[in-house]
Chain A
Amino acid sequence: MVPTAGVSAAPGRGVGVVRSRFSLRTASSPTKLRAATVVTVVLALVLSLGGWYSVQRRSTAIDDAAAAAQQLIRVQDVRVLVVEADSLASRAYLQGGQEVAAERQAYEDSAANASNGLVDAATAATTVDAQLLESANAQLARYLGLVEQARANNRQGFPVGAAYLRQAHTVSVAIVSALREVEAHARQRVDDSIARAHRSSWLLVLGTMLVLAAIVVGGVWVAIRWRRLINVPLAAAGLLAFVVLTAGVGVNAGAMNDADAVVEQPLAAADVLAQARAAAFDARSNEALTLINRGGGQAADAQWHLSKSIVDAALSESCDAYGAGCDADEPFAAYAVGYTAVRTLDDKEGDWEDARDLSTTGQTTASVPSGVNPVASFESFAETSGDAIAAESSSAARGFDNAVDNLGLLAFLVVIAGLAIAVLAVLGYGQRVREYR
């Protein structure tokens, strides 16, 4: 069959008119070859740019998830520091002028680290979160002032110090509330970023499939029309497109699996463990408040039980679902036994002094079950949970880094492969076009 020209251009008419009358069915073979070349090259360039954009978008989304996760961990750390400081301040008040120097230093360290942590968190925050953190920082300054007022009054023997401490605790609750809001936002950003990452690779897959389809259809057409079994450049282009498709899908899926695994395992575990730790310190703070209120601390006792139920649920979830922090459960359970002993001494036996001694030093002259020591148990829990959170947080950060490691290389190779496919398509169809010269 001799190819026939199907293009007729009216003299003096524009290209648009020529295009409007173009018919592939009636076009000459060289024209069809050139059209196939243009279509393949355009699709290859779309693959090159679209694929690069697609991979970059996934990489950026995973980076965003990592940043949100880091912010979540950072803010949770600050929350724990604030609650820890409040716990130490309450116990120091209980000890009056006999406060332990090391505990005073621990309070000052917690307060300073919380303040620095808030500043760090604010620099990495969204506008809304920055306002919340700024407010929390202002509240923290107020909190520290109130604690100092409580301490100064207490040391002079002025009972108004208890009112200052009550107010300080109320302010610390407000700080914690603001931080929990920021944490919720960070969790949502992790979810949104991961979802965005999942959605981001369709352009690469679709582009590669279109290129591959164009090359396969063109290759088959050339083989049938010109009785050439293999057009080497087109075959190479097809092979390259297939490699891009499989490698792209593989690397992309691998990165996504890695990121999903981080969210499902170490990050979720760190999040849940941090909630357990914050609630545990809150319980410890309320333990002191039940004693400061001298038997009138039902509200603090109710809050202690609330915090304990959060700790129990969080530790259970952490261990059962993620296999993390399992060894923190035992010391917290021992601490809870210690708290019960403190409350029993104070409430049921009316022995406030021994209850206070057991709570603040772990020792008492009163009769308590053997081995009961809320101070040692809590310290053990604090250390164990802290280590577990640090391990899971590090693992999460490493996991996100690993997830995006290969995406940069993939984006580069997609660009190169797209350009190479375009060149090979020009060479492949060009061989047939030259036969008509």
Chain B
Amino acid sequence: MSRRTRTTAGLVAAALLLGACSGSTSMPSEITAEVTQTTTGTTTAPLRDCTTAEEDAVPATASYPALDPMPEPGEMPPRSTMARILSEGRLVVGVSGDTLLFGARNPFTTQIEGFDIDILTEVANAIFGEDGAKHIEYKVITYADRIPKLEARNVDIVAHTMTINCRRWLRINFSTVYFWAGQKVLVKTGSGYRSIDDFEPSALGGVVCAPNGSTNIDKMAADYPDIEVIGKDDISDCLVAMQQGEADATTGDDTVLAGFAAQDPNTEVVGDESGKAFTDEPYGLGMNKDDVDFVQFVNGVLAEIRDNGRYDEIVQKWLIDTNALDNVTPVPPPDYSRPLP
């Protein structure tokens, strides 16, 4: 074979082998996308503890003086927070969607209803008039979202079984106390647990569930550090955890636990050794730190409904007629001793 012939043959052979081993095709990559919005829409910085000076400066349950005189519905003071709400035609409220008796969606009517909702309706009526309820826009939020949503102005006001305390005052404003609750424990009937102390490892032991971001879980860490506690985003997740055997009990406010007991007849509420609540949980309506005028207005609304008997009607409707609570702790007289900024 000549050199040219050999070269040609070599090229043909190489081409055939290359053809036999040509590059392969491949499947398209999985299509993915990145979240362009935050999942909660808000950022949450942890609450810091109050200093002794901050604790002593003014009682946590003290709020700003009620607006006096109160403006007529539909005639809010110019440039006030209430005027802004009135002009927007809606009061955006942060509530619970699954706390029976205080804020829960009624599946038959699909309406959110409860004690907190009726209190908010009174606030809306005071701004818009008798059809105030139609101007309420509900935002169902979790326990942990209550303060961040107010800070981000996603809501105008929060009525979500929220306890007033000094740490929260550092970040938001509160109304005067509109309900007085206390922390207790929901246990399974016949489980042998008679008080929170039974959950100590030296006693019966067991796992207690509490909602993240609540005073209830803080209380457990502070006063019952040896009890095993698991946290959930929402307290209703704790009832699920109990029903599924993940937790032996749920600790929360007696108001909330009463709603749970109504949903699960195999549970009961216990307290301390004497059966009473082992904390005081004064509830307040939360508002943005800058909306002092709105706090004063809301305090005026609360004073009005206390005076005209509407508050008692709401208590009767949700907490007494339903046999939810053994007794309702009377709300103390409003404390307006917090100095205006």
Using a CB–CB cutoff of 8 Å, the interface residues on chain A facing chain B are 94, 96-97, 149, 153-164, 166-167, 180, 183-184, 187, 190-191, 194-195, 197-199, 201-202, 204-206, 209, 245, 249, 252-253, 256, 260, 263-264, 267-268, 271-272, 275-276, 279, 292-299, 301-303, 305-307, 309-310, 313-314, 317, 321, 350, 352-353, 356
Contact = CB atoms under 8 A, between A and B. Distances in A.
Identify whether the interface residues of A are mostly helix, strand, loop, or mixed.
helix
Nearest to A308: B33
Nearest to A196: B24
Q: A204, A256, A298 — which one has the most chain B CB atoms within 10 A of its CB?
A: A298
Contacts of A307: 33
B110 A299 contact: no
A98 to B, nearest CB: 9
B25 A264 contact: yes
A198 B24 contact: yes
B122 interface: no
Interface in B255-275: 259-260, 263-264
B240 A163 contact: yes
B239 A294 contact: no
Contacts of B20: 201-202, 204-205, 249, 252
A159 B98 contact: yes
B98 A162 contact: yes
Given A187-B27, A190-B27, A209-B13, A159 B36 contact: no
Given A187-B27, A294-B140, A301-B37, A163 B236 contact: yes
B234 interface: yes
Nearest to B42: A298
A295 B139 contact: yes
Contact of A350 (B137, B239, B243, B264): B137
B105 interface: yes
B16 interface: yes
A298 B236 contact: no
Contacts of B28: 268, 271-272, 317, 321
A167 B233 CA distance: 11
B300 to A, nearest CB: 24
Question: Which 6 residue pairs of A and B lie closest in terms of their CB atoms, listed nearest first?
Answer: A350-B137, A159-B98, A96-B107, A163-B236, A159-B104, A296-B140
A174 to B, nearest CB: 16
Given A260-B24, A295-B137, A309-B33, 13 more contacts: A94-B110, A160-B240, A163-B234, A164-B240, A167-B237, A202-B17, A209-B13, A301-B37, A305-B36, A306-B34, A309-B36, A310-B31, A350-B137
Contacts of B99: 159
Contacts of B108: 96-97, 157
B340 interface: no
Interface in B211-233: none
A76 B17 CA distance: 38
Interface string B72-84: 0000000000000
Given A275-B31, A305-B37, A294 B22 contact: no
24 contacts: A96-B107, A96-B108, A96-B110, A97-B108, A154-B107, A155-B107, A159-B97, A159-B104, A160-B260, A162-B105, A194-B25, A201-B21, A202-B17, A209-B16, A245-B16, A249-B20, A293-B140, A296-B94, A296-B142, A297-B140, A302-B35, A306-B36, A310-B31, A313-B33
